Structure 1
Amino acid sequence: MNIKLRYFASVRETLNISHEMATIPAGVTTVGAIRAHLVARGGIWAEALGVNKPLRTAYNQAMCGPDQVVEAGAELAFFPPVTGG
């Protein structure tokens, strides 16, 4: 499935991108599974999105948890707990 991924604040700074269109493999259907899939890219992906990072997620601009099911064409955002200032 294809989804839009958005990255904010320190996640964006670490990855050096603010968004991407991603093709997610079959069977990777939840926010938590997508995060694990991205971490598996290794390097800066593991650094920015690793399980040791306290991150918030939003599915189609609504806060969500790791069990949220993701559908094709959706937008998924990752950001640290506190943004702005």
Structure 2
Amino acid sequence: MKVLYFAWVRERIGKTEEVVEPPADVTTIADLVAWLKGRGEEYAYAFENETVIRAAMDQLHVHRDAVITGAGEIAFFPPMTGG
């Protein structure tokens, strides 16, 4: 699946997107975040306060318990404000 990173999540990880193949036991957004955090210091830093990071699956906002099976694209971004 393709994973996209936006704003300071992107800056901390150092890339805008990547294609990943998480293990079979990674079935939810929360699982994916935990798995990504284990991939390196930059991921751990980006997701250090993972409860504030928002996610979208195939361009629809989802919660941390959303099942990612079959997803083509997951995006992570910080909370947004209007102005």
Aligned equivalents of 1:71, 1:83: Cα separation in 2: 30
TM-score w.r.t. the length of structure 2 is: 0.89
Structure 2, unaligned stretches of length 5 or more?
Answer: none
The equivalent of 1:60 in structure 2 is 58
Could you tell me how far apart the structure 1 residues matched to 2:82 and 2:53 are? 15
CA distance in 2, matches of 1:24, 1:68: 15
CA distance in structure 1 between the aligned counterparts of 2:19 and 2:34, rounded to whole angstroms? 17
Deviation digits for residues 50-80 of structure 1 (CA, Å, limit 9, x no counterpart): 2x24110001000001111012452000000
* Equivalent position of 1:25 in the other structure: 23
Matched with 1:11 is: 9
Aligned residues with identical type, % of pairs = 41
Give the Cα separation in 1 of the matches to 2:42 and 2:31: 18
Instruction: State the SS of the aligned residue for 2:79.
Output: coil
Which structure shows the bigger proportion of residues in strand conformation?
Answer: 1
Q: Match for 2:33: what amino acid?
A: R
Amino acid at match of 2:47: L
Q: Is the 8 A contact 1:4 1:76 kept in 2?
A: yes
User: Runs of 4+ in structure 1 displaced over 4 angstroms?
Assistant: none
**Which digits, 9 at most, give the CA deviation of each residue in 1:19-74, with x for residues without a partner?**
00001101111010000000112311100012x24110001000001111012452
Over aligned residues, Cα RMSD in angstroms?
1.7
Q: Extract unaligned runs of 5+ from structure 1.
A: none
SS of alignment partner, residue 66 of structure 2: coil
Q: How many residues align?
A: 82
Shift of 1:83: 6.5
